[in-house]
Structure formats: C-alpha cells, structure tokens
Amino acid sequence: MEDIYKLMNDFYLGDFTEQEKLHMKIQLEHFQLDARQSTKLQKASTVVELCQVLAKTNKLSIYPLLDKIIHLVLTLPVPTTITEQAFLAIKIVKARLRNRMEDDILSTYLVAYIEKRIAQEFSIDCIIGEFDLMKKQRMQFRVPSIEK
C-alpha cells in the first residue's frame, strides 16, 4: 500500500489535494483490512480485476480516492504518430514563417501540409486554372497550348 501512496506523490501530485493525500493513507489502511477479509478482493491479481471487483461489490463509494488513483493509472496517454508528426510540422512551419506571414496564410499552409494526402490529388494545372478564373490577373498563368 505504501507503493500506491508513493505512486500518487510521484506521478499524480497535481491530481490530489493535501487533504486527499491524508485521506488516501486512511483509505488504504481500511482497504488493506477489508481486502484481508474479502475473498473476492484477494482473488484480484491485476489492477483491472481489482477495479472490476470494487465496482461489483460497491466498494468504489467507500474508497473514492482509491478509485481515482486506479482510474489515473489505467488511463494512459496514447500519442499517435500522425498527431506527433502534425505538431512537429506545425512547429517547423511556425519557426520558419513566424513574423513573416499573416495568420490566414500560415493556417492555410499548415492545413495543406497536414492534409497532404488530399492535397497531393490536386494537379498544379487545376490550381492555376482555378486561380485564373477567380479574377483577371496582371500576367497570364495558363501556358497556351501549341498545336501542330
């Protein structure tokens, strides 16, 4: 039980108030006594099984702080590679373009980079054609086709 208290102090310091830390010691002592008397609690060999037994026996309402630490332990941050790559791309682009571009241009550029799979389907000629049709430009964007 000392390990659980140490875990709470080392990794979940911001999730518990000082008062909850004091109550946690008391709840852990009571839980230890309760676990010695309950065969269901003694059979639980993993944290998941312990959580299930606590839920079935309605012990979660008796030990709310134990329930909280179990949920914190079972809730692991799962970063995805795509998300990490997108944030890395944002960091690189922001570093290069900061103070040189307006926010609209920067966000448009980032969307095009993050959604690069979709953006790769567009051809340059299609983009130039759409831009040319938007309004009259000073210079001609379309290359006249040479017919033989």
Q: Which of 99, 129, 93, 145 is CA-nearest to residue 114?
A: 93
* Interacting residues of 72 by C-beta distance below 8 A, sequence separation 6+: 12, 15
- What is the DSSP secondary structure assignment for residue 80, as one 8-state letter? -
Residues 66 and 88 in one domain: no
Residues 59 and 8 in one domain: yes
- Output the tens digit of pLDDT for each of the chain's 148 residues: 677 778 777 777 788 888 888 888 888 888 888 888 888 888 888 888 888 888 888 888 888 888 888 888 777 665 556 677 777 877 877 777 665 656 666 677 777 777 777 778 888 888 777 877 777 766 666 665 555 4
Structural domain span for residue 127: 81-134
Classify the C-alpha dihedral 112-117-120-126 as positive or negative: negative
pLDDT recorded at residue 148: 44
State how far the Cα of 14 lies from the Cα of 34, in Å rounded to an integer: 28
Amino acid at position 81, single letter: T
Q: What is the number of structural domains in the chain?
A: 2
